[in-house]
Amino acid sequence: MTAIPHIPILLGAYYYTWYGIGEQWSLFPRPWQPTLGEYKSADRAVMEQHHKWAKLAGIDFFSVSWGGDGTRSAVNKHIAASGSCIIIDSAGNHIRPHCDEGGPKHDHVYRFEGWREPSMWWEPSGDVDTLIQAHLAIPDGVPMALHYEVRDVLGVGEGFVDLSAGSNPAILMHHLLYAASNIFSHPSYFKIGGRPVLFLYTLRDFVNFVAPLKAALDAVERVIGTPLFLVGDVVWWSPAADALPWDDYRRIGLSAITGYNLFDWGQPDKMGAGL
């Protein structure tokens, strides 16, 4: 019988860098106030304090929301450099140039001219990426792992995420190669067995994903010299476990599975409410 290797139990926490952006704090009523008040995620002192508290709490790593380097493709990155990026709302009204104070409103639908940068809720993904790299630079900080919000990056709301459609394979390849060159090999990046950990949000909804995802992952391995430790968000209320494409998950080299949101306020019947 083959001995099963000992794998230590690690405690992680999802971490977000968009607080203090625009109206974020005022959008959701809450019965409590953060110890640091309505802080700004970009404040270096806030970052350092969060890392100190996390280490005191025994947290081994942060899984941090990430939407790429702020571009949907290398071509659009060149357009962005020309300064042609503006954000407009669904009515066509100009909201703000990239990186200005404030941020998109939660109840608006946005499209982005020029590079078509995806918005990570209240913060453009390029700003998110910059803050993640600032976290990685904190001395003796909690290791960080990217939680790749593929759904938001590709502009998919509800339903299936088709990774083979249109320019999606090129977007995926560009983002993961960017991470391979700029993030995965950082000394403070979270690794298991020497392999950088990457979380894939709502992997359970991916379709036609094997070829584009495997191509991108193989390209990353050629850059960093080791395969990623891939964690897929597949544990949820649906689909049922026997309906998931486990053979396809093996083909992409999925290392582990997780559930991003098992506490779902939108589905109280599944939370045992009223029992």
**Interacting residues of 218 by C-beta distance below 8 A, sequence separation 6+:** none
Least confident of 3-12, 88-97, 135-144, 252-261: 88-97
> Do 127 and 90 fall into the same domain?
no
pLDDT at 22: 58
Instruction: Let me know if residue 152 belongs to a domain.
Output: yes
Q: Which domain holds residue 98?
A: 80-119
CATH code, domain carrying 196: 3.20.20.80
Instruction: Please indicate, yes or no, if residue 275 is contained in any of the structural domains.
Output: no
Q: Is residue 93 located within the same domain as residue 144?
A: no
Q: Within this chain, do residues 63 and 165 fall inside the same structural domain, yes or no?
A: yes
Cα 122 to Cα 146: distance, rounded to the nearest angstrom: 18
- Looking at the structure, tell me whether residues 46 and 153 fall in a common domain: yes
Structure tokens at 182: 């700029």
Task: Find the mean pLDDT for residues 161-186.
Answer: 91
Among 115-129, 152-166, 179-193, name the one with the lowest average pLDDT.
Answer: 115-129
Q: How many domains does the chain have?
A: 2
Whether the CA torsion 39, 42, 45, 46 is positive or negative: it is positive
Are 111 and 228 members of one domain?
no
Are residue 246 and residue 170 in the same domain, yes or no?
A: yes
Count the alpha carbons within 13 Å of 245 in the hemisphere toward its beta carbon.
Answer: 13
Is 114 in the same domain as 125? Answer: no
pLDDT tens for each residue of 207-232: 999 999 999 999 999 999 999 999 99
Whether the per-residue pLDDT at 118 is higher than 90: the answer is: no
pLDDT at 156: 67
On whether residue 271 sits in a domain, the answer given is no
Q: Is residue 233 part of a domain?
A: yes
